Structure 1
């Protein structure tokens, strides 16, 4: 197994787990126009964990990569939402929030290598 694939898997399993460990922070940054934000948060966390583990198996890897790309595109809404106010930024400096947007596209590219 390639080392970067293992790193990617760890990143998504960890990130997904954080949705369950710190749910209030995640719910707070989900745009208010979306319904059932708590449920969406838990669903997103579960999908991230599942996709992270699915990356480890050649049979499920392409599906996991597509799922991750889809998730990263959807999460752009949250990243732009966090730029709307200091309260939504959760104390993260604005420059980091802005830098996160091109980073999201880098993560999309990385996942696309495994389709």
Structure 2
């Protein structure tokens, strides 16, 4: 499906850029990392590497299994960094000027489950909501 392929390339490129930025310019990511995260600079570096690896897996032409693994990995990654996004939302909105504001943070919160689904869909892990439901394998 062409739409899935285009979405896969867009998502892969977005994660590749995000990973590059995590590794080369960690400052903005460190500033929104919750205090309870141990070794934040190391975590930011390795999250960037995870994004790059996920993007490479998603974009590789060699096989669907690696793409599926990358889709699952990127979905889990997006789920795991969601608390940092929530922390950033709360921290930013607590600023006297309201920080970036609700116009930034609400769409970002809505986008997180969409990114999770998109990683699974573009990695061919799920067809929902576009494909027919598959019957469970009978043993």
Q: Please report the TM-score for the alignment, with normalisation by the length of structure 1.
A: 0.89
- Listed as ranges, the gaps of 5+ residues in structure 1 are none
- Separation of aligned partners in 1, 2:25 and 2:11: 21
Q: In the TM superposition, what is the alpha-carbon distance from 1:85 to its structure 2 partner?
A: 2.3
CA distance in 2, matches of 1:18, 1:86: 21
CA distance in 2, matches of 1:54, 1:92: 33
Structure 2 residue 40 is the aligned partner of structure 1 residue 37: yes
Q: Could you tell me the TM-score, scaled by structure 2's length?
A: 0.75
User: Offset of 1:81 from its aligned partner?
Assistant: 0.3
CA contact (8 A) 1:72 1:108 kept: yes
Bigger Rg, structure 1 or 2: 2
Aligned to 2:109: 101
Higher percent of residues as helix: 1
- Number of aligned positions between the proteins: 114
Instruction: Give, in angstroms, the shift of residue 32 of structure 1.
Output: 0.5
Q: Deviations over 1:80-115 (max 9, x none)?
A: 1012223898x5333211211111111111111122
Match of 1:40, SS state, is helix
Whether 2:30 is the aligned partner of 1:27: answer: yes
User: For the aligned residues, what is the CA RMSD?
Assistant: 1.9
1:69 to 67, 72, 75: 75
The one of 89, 92, 98 aligned to 1:83? 89
